[in-house]
Amino acid sequence: MRSGRPRTPIGTHGNITTRRRGRRVVAETRVRDLDGRLRQVRVSGASAAAARMRLMERIRERPAVRNDGVLHPTSSFTDLADLWLADLDMRDLAEATRESYQGCLRLHVRPAFEHYTLAEVTTGRVEWFLNNQARVSFAQAKLTRTILNLLFAFALRHDAISRNPVQGTSPLRHPRASPRALTIEQIAAIREAAARWRTEPGLPGPRPDGQVRDIIEVLLGTAMRPGEVLALRPCDIEDTPAGMVASVNGTVVHRRGKGAVRQPRPKTDASIRRIPVPEFAAEVLRRRIAAMPGDAGTRTIFATRTGSPLSNHNVRRTFREFLQIAGLADAGISLRSYRRTGATVIARSIGTDAAAVFLGHTSTGDHRGALHRARPHGRRHPRGSLGAHPAPRSLGRLPAHPACSRR
């Protein structure tokens, strides 16, 4: 059987022929459009070279006849981004995640690819872009890779591309950093600095209310994420003769135009959990709740003067001032160090797998970086003495609070 002439690939053209017609030269070819059909394209010019050049321009500029899809290989990256954002609005995503995607697309991804068509975005171009992002920040590179992968998976589902160019890129290498838990000396120094913060006579502004000082005690005692502690409400606290238990069912996030708001779900489904609270942290929560109005069961325990949740940003800023006073500004300590410290103590007590569940990780491998295995420079590691500090007067057990609303 004789093999026929090979078919012109979709989106390309066949041989270009030229012929003279009077004083002009006609150039023509057949283009195979996205609907699979061949169509004639013909132009004329003063010479054969001019006619060929005009023909190529006409092919590039002509709208491709396609199926009912809204995207095709010659669509611009901007068209893809706009359609993906519209699709994103219909997805069930946490508002903080949605805003993170939108911001990263606007600031980093769109400026890098807005002048390309989809067919021009190759694996090599994506690789080069991600490598540049990784030089700035691993977290930024990871997020931009996620967004590009989602964008081109969307284009793939709409038959605009034949393969996702992100899939062939190199894995991002996380910079290895030794997770460090706090030492007893560091905990004590930060506590002392928190107690002295803004206590000098004659300082302008309101006196410190001690909220950030209390927040770090709860972080230390529960190993929660900072946003989870800020989201705690009186109705999330169960105080019984057997001890206090905190229900983790939300987090505080920043919403554009609204500021800090309580999101009624934590980072992941695995983060929804109940945590026993050690006595030194329980005393802090009892004191804070006892000072709240009786009808404040659904308001966050740590709040502004107007009753809104405290923002992560403001808490981190105050904590950095504590570190400055304690002489630990360059020690690589952050609020997450308290979670690492609590995680280490828990893991040494009940094992790493059980600690992963306690911490609300989605898998037992996620917690490896949160645990501090070595005791650096021979310093003592905080164990049972995490709460060894002057505790406030005991307020006794708290009365039961009404059940939390779904707000």
Identify whether residues 134 and 208 lie together within a single domain: no
Identify the band that residue 90 occupies on the pLDDT scale cut at 50, 70 and 90.
Answer: confident
Identify whether residues 38 and 95 lie together within a single domain: no
Query: What is the arithmetic mean of pLDDT over 266-289?
Result: 87
Identify whether residues 233 and 340 lie together within a single domain: yes
- Which pLDDT score, from 0 to 100, does residue 400 have? 44
Q: Residue 169 in contact with residue 361, Cβ under 8 Å?
A: no
Q: Residue 62 in contact with residue 88, Cβ under 8 Å?
A: no
- Which pLDDT score, from 0 to 100, does residue 349 have? 66
Task: Assess if residue 112 is contained within a domain.
Answer: yes
Task: Assess if residue 403 is contained within a domain.
Answer: no
Among residues 67, 97, 118, the one where a domain terminates is 67
- Which pLDDT score, from 0 to 100, does residue 297 have? 66
Task: Assess if residue 284 is contained within a domain.
Answer: yes
**Residue predicted with more confidence, 371 or 272:** 272
For 273-365, strand residue ranges (E) read: 273-277
Q: What is the CATH number of the domain that holds 311?
A: 1.10.443.10
β partners of residue 255:
259
- Which pLDDT score, from 0 to 100, does residue 373 have? 40
Query: What is the arithmetic mean of pLDDT over 103-118?
Result: 95
Measured N-to-C along each axis, helices 336-350 and 211-222 cross at an angle, to the nearest 10 degrees, of: 30
3-state secondary structure of 204: coil
**CA 405 to each of CA 122, 238, 249, 254, 256: distance values in angstroms, whole numbers, following the listed order:** 50, 15, 12, 21, 24
Among 81-85, 141-145, 358-362, 397-401, whose mean pLDDT is lowest?
397-401
Identify the band that residue 395 occupies on the pLDDT scale cut at 50, 70 and 90.
Answer: very low
Q: Residue 383 in contact with residue 348, Cβ under 8 Å?
A: yes
**Residue predicted with more confidence, 299 or 177:** 299
Identify whether residues 226 and 314 lie together within a single domain: yes
Task: Assess if residue 171 is contained within a domain.
Answer: no
Task: Assess if residue 2 is contained within a domain.
Answer: yes
For residue range 221-272, list pLDDT tens digits in order: 898 999 999 999 999 999 988 899 999 999 998 888 888 889 888 777 777 8
- Which pLDDT score, from 0 to 100, does residue 356 have? 64
Identify whether residues 256 and 237 lie together within a single domain: yes
Identify the band that residue 139 occupies on the pLDDT scale cut at 50, 70 and 90.
Answer: confident
Q: Residue 138 in contact with residue 175, Cβ under 8 Å?
A: yes
Identify whether residues 359 and 277 lie together within a single domain: yes
Query: What is the arithmetic mean of pLDDT over 350-359?
Result: 63
3-state secondary structure of 392: coil
Identify the band that residue 164 occupies on the pLDDT scale cut at 50, 70 and 90.
Answer: very high
Identify the band that residue 397 occupies on the pLDDT scale cut at 50, 70 and 90.
Answer: very low
**Residue predicted with more confidence, 385 or 326:** 326
Task: Assess if residue 170 is contained within a domain.
Answer: no
Task: Assess if residue 396 is contained within a domain.
Answer: no
Identify whether residues 52 and 107 lie together within a single domain: no
Among residues 97, 122, 157, the one where a domain terminates is 157
Task: Assess if residue 269 is contained within a domain.
Answer: yes
Identify whether residues 3 and 44 lie together within a single domain: yes
Q: What is the CATH number of the domain that holds 128?
A: 1.10.150.130
Identify whether residues 254 and 330 lie together within a single domain: yes
Q: Residue 352 in contact with residue 343, Cβ under 8 Å?
A: no
- Which pLDDT score, from 0 to 100, does residue 269 have? 72
Among 115-129, 235-249, 274-288, 291-305, whose mean pLDDT is lowest?
291-305
Contacts of 131 (CB under 8 A, 6+ apart): none
What total of structural domains would you count in the chain?
3
Q: Please say if the pLDDT value at position 377 is more than 60.
A: no
Whole-angstrom Cα distance, residue 200 to residue 207? 10
- Which pLDDT score, from 0 to 100, does residue 35 have? 73
Among residues 67, 95, 111, the one where a domain terminates is 67
Share of the chain above pLDDT 70, in %: 81
Q: Please say if the pLDDT value at position 181 is more than 70.
A: yes
3-state secondary structure of 13: strand
Query: What is the arithmetic mean of pLDDT over 387-399?
Result: 42
Query: What is the arithmetic mean of pLDDT over 357-373?
Result: 52
Query: What is the arithmetic mean of pLDDT over 158-187?
Result: 85
Identify whether residues 299 and 233 lie together within a single domain: yes
Query: What is the arithmetic mean of pLDDT over 311-329?
Result: 93
Q: Please say if the pLDDT value at position 310 is more than 80.
A: yes
Identify the band that residue 354 occupies on the pLDDT scale cut at 50, 70 and 90.
Answer: low
Identify whether residues 61 and 82 lie together within a single domain: no
Identify whether residues 224 and 335 lie together within a single domain: yes
3-state secondary structure of 62: coil
For residue range 9-65, list pLDDT tens digits in order: 877 888 999 999 999 999 999 988 767 788 999 999 999 999 999 999 888 777 655
For residue range 328-353, list pLDDT tens digits in order: 988 889 998 988 887 777 767 666 66
Q: What is the span of the domain harbouring residue 153?
A: 77-157
- pTM exceeds cut of 0.75: no
